[in-house]
Amino acid sequence: MSGYIVVDASLWVARLVANDVFHTRSRAWMEAQRAAGIRFIAPALLLVEVAAAISRPTGNPALARRAVGTLQSLADLRLVEMDRRLVQTATQVATDLGVRGADAFYIAVARQLNLPLATLDVDQR
């Protein structure tokens, strides 16, 4: 499955929130990936994580809904359903690496599809 990269919620939130400290860099990075023909992939959990990461600190559910709507409308973003196999792989990742549960899903998608993972989260690198 070449031409894809797994992108976690930390990068998407930075890209979608204009006042995020990494907004400019994440935007430039994503534009460069698109220009190179790279498409993005993430577990469906991405939508929940982005909604929470924006709504909770801002207290602005409308902003979170807009961000999720933007993600759902992207033609170059593929969301992977969280089926039994992915849950099993993520469980093994969480157990073996000691990462947070949500982070384990991004790593599991990258492992299952043999793709690189892009993140701003130090724990996943």
Domain that holds residue 25: 4-119
Query: For the segment 12-60, what is each residue's pLDDT rounded down to a tens digit?
Result: 999 999 999 999 999 999 999 999 999 999 999 999 999 999 999 999 9
In a domain, 125, yes or no: no
Q: Could you tell me the CA-to-CA distances from 125 to 31, 45, 77, 103, 116 in Å, in that order?
A: 22, 19, 21, 10, 10
In a domain, 8, yes or no: yes
Write out the two tokens for 107: 């790593």
Sequence letter at residue 106: Y
Closest to 42 (Cα-Cα) out of 102, 99, 89, 94: 102
Rg (CA), the chain: 14
In a domain, 124, yes or no: no
Domain CATH code at residue 102: 3.40.50.1010
In a domain, 37, yes or no: yes
Query: For the segment 58-86, what is each residue's pLDDT rounded down to a tens digit?
Result: 999 999 999 999 999 999 999 999 999 99
Can you tell me the distance from the alpha carbon of 12 to that of 41, in angstroms, rounded to the nearest whole number?
A: 11
Based on the structure, what is the number of domains in the chain? 1
